[in-house]
Structure formats: C-alpha cells, structure tokens
Amino acid sequence: MSETTPVGVDWSADLELIRAAAVVAGETALGYFRKGPDVRWKNEGRSPVSEADLAANDVLKTRLLAARPDYGWLSEETDDDSSRLTRETVFVVDPIDGTRAFIAGKELWCVSVAVVCRGMPVAGVLYAPALDELYEAVASGDALKNGKAISVREAAPGETLHLAAAEDTIAKLAPVYRNAVERVPHVPSLAYRLAMVADGRIDGTLVKKNSHDWDLAAADLIVARAGGALVDLDDKPLFYNRSTVVHGVLCAGARPILPGLIAACRSLEPH
C-alpha cells in the first residue's frame, strides 16, 4: 500500500460525515455520563470499557459504514478485521478516548474519528461533549476549534516549555532540559492532550510507547494543520492502518521545539 495521499482530493465531504457522526456518538455517550454505566475489563484486566463506549461505537460504525461501505474499519472497541489492510481508505475511531476519566465522572474525554487514506490521516474530528468542544481538520486548510482557526504556540528561545508527560518521564530528563520545563498536570485522554498542543494551551507532549492508531490519527492531523507535528524519535511522521497499530515513543509540538523533545526522549529509553 502506498503511503502517499492522493494529490488534489477534496476530503471535505468526509469531514462533514465524520463530524456529524462524532457529535451523535458524543451525545450518546453523554447520556451515560455520571450515571454509573456498566463497566467490564479487557486486555487481561488492564483496560476498562463501559456500555457508553460500546453504544458510541455502534453509532459510529452504523453511520459511517452505511455512508462509505467501501471504507475499512479500525476501532478500539471492535474486533480487528484484517480486511482493512486491503482498503485504500479506512475509518479509525476511538468512541471514547479517556474511558477511565469518563467512568470517574471527569470531563476530559472525547470521541476521536479519522479518515485515513494510504496510511495518512486526511480528515479528523475530536469531540469533547462534556466540554462543548469540537476540533476538526482536513488535509488542506486550518485546524478548527468550535469553528475558529487554532495554532500551536511557538515559545521564544529560553522560555519555559509547558509539557504534558508522566511525572516519571519528566524526572528522567537531563537536568539542563528538565529545568526549562514545567510539567502540565495529567490529561487522561491522549487525543485531547494533543488537541491542547494544537490550540496552544500547552507547548508539547511526550507520549510513552504503546499508544494506538485510534488514540492518534485524528489528533495527529489536527496538530499538523495547526502548524505542529506528531513524530517518532527519528523525527518521522506516523503511518496508520498497518498490520500493527501500536506505536513507539512519540513527541508532539511546534516544529522548533521538536529536536529538543526528541533528544530528551532518546535519553530515556532505546528505540
């Protein structure tokens, strides 16, 4: 499969489709929020899934595949179907990114929906219904938050960087870098954390290994169209809809700070 997005394709109709579906899925999930939804555990008891996740997933799958039956499907809450690897274009979704926060009654969760073509996201939506926030982007044009253009923050040289990362990750950074960083308190949704990079609330984030396509694809495009980037430790963009959907250590932020972030991450663990 080629990893080059078709030139000149207008993905705005797909953006409209996934936006509408994400809003309905988000409102569906919101109907369970702070109402004690049933919860079970998957992945040998490591990951919770609530009835809200499954209901939102059903909304997305029904609406999206009815509109684009030739597209593949990859969701955190659906058994993987290897036929997606034969499809040029795929929906990549997380019905609720931040399920633990959702179950705990915290507002930092979102519906993540992306259209991926030839391995690259070309339309993406993040909808955080409890916060009344909707982020979106298409392969050309601005990233938007509630209809208004957003952009990453470019810190001045020597300015303190506000980074979202685990405490143990920040603690392991070289002192010369750690002393120039202020850690952002834990953000339970990775997709929403990347949205915070896109709208300039934070400067960047370090992502531990083992994130998945559905955590990243929509937010990746939104960060990119906001003027930033999500990259691996070789400063390469991510590709999606591969046989493995798991990623290594990643960094996101405005382009000028990425070399420093990558160097800091390389000092933490081999890749």
Of 5 and 49, more confident: 49
**Six-digit token pair at 134?**
């909707």
Checking if the pLDDT of 171 tops 80, the result is: yes
Distance CA 94, CA 215 (A): 7
Question: Which pLDDT value is given to residue 96?
Answer: 98
Instruction: Judge whether 253 and 232 are in contact, CB under 8 Å.
Output: no
Sign of CA dihedral 169, 173, 175, 179: negative
Write down the pLDDT at residue 266: 81
Distances (CA, A) of 181 to 27, 105, 152, 254: 37, 30, 17, 15
Pair 98, 112: CB distance under 8 Å: no
pLDDT at 166 over 60: yes
Angle at 195 between CA 193 and CA 200, to 5 degrees: 100
Which residue stretches of 31-117 are H helix? 51-67, 99-103
| Distance between CA atoms of residues 246 and 211, nearest Å | 6
Token pair, residue 247, equals 């990623």
List of domains in the chain: 12-149 (3.30.540.10), 161-266 (3.40.190.80)
pLDDT on residue 8: 67
pLDDT of 2 over the 50 cut: no
* DSSP assigned state of 50: E
Q: What is the mean pLDDT of the chain?
A: 92
What's the pLDDT at 179?
Answer: 87
Residue 159, both tokens: 């300015």
The residue ranking higher by pLDDT, 151 or 47, is 151
**Pairing state between β 148-149 and 211-212:** unpaired
User: What is the model's pTM?
Assistant: 0.94
Q: Is 118 exposed, middle or buried (0-12, 13-18, 19+ CB in 10 A)?
A: middle
Would the CA dihedral through 134, 88, 97, 201 be positive or negative? negative
Is residue 88 pLDDT above 50, yes or no?
Answer: yes
Condensed to tens digits (0 to 9), the pLDDT of residues 114-136 reads 999 999 999 999 999 999 999 99
* Residues of the chain by 3-state class (helix, strand, coil), percent to 5: 35, 30, 40
pLDDT at 11 over 80: yes
Is residue 151's pLDDT more than 70? yes
d(CA 198, CA 32): 28
The whole-angstrom separation of Cα 51 and Cα 32 is 8
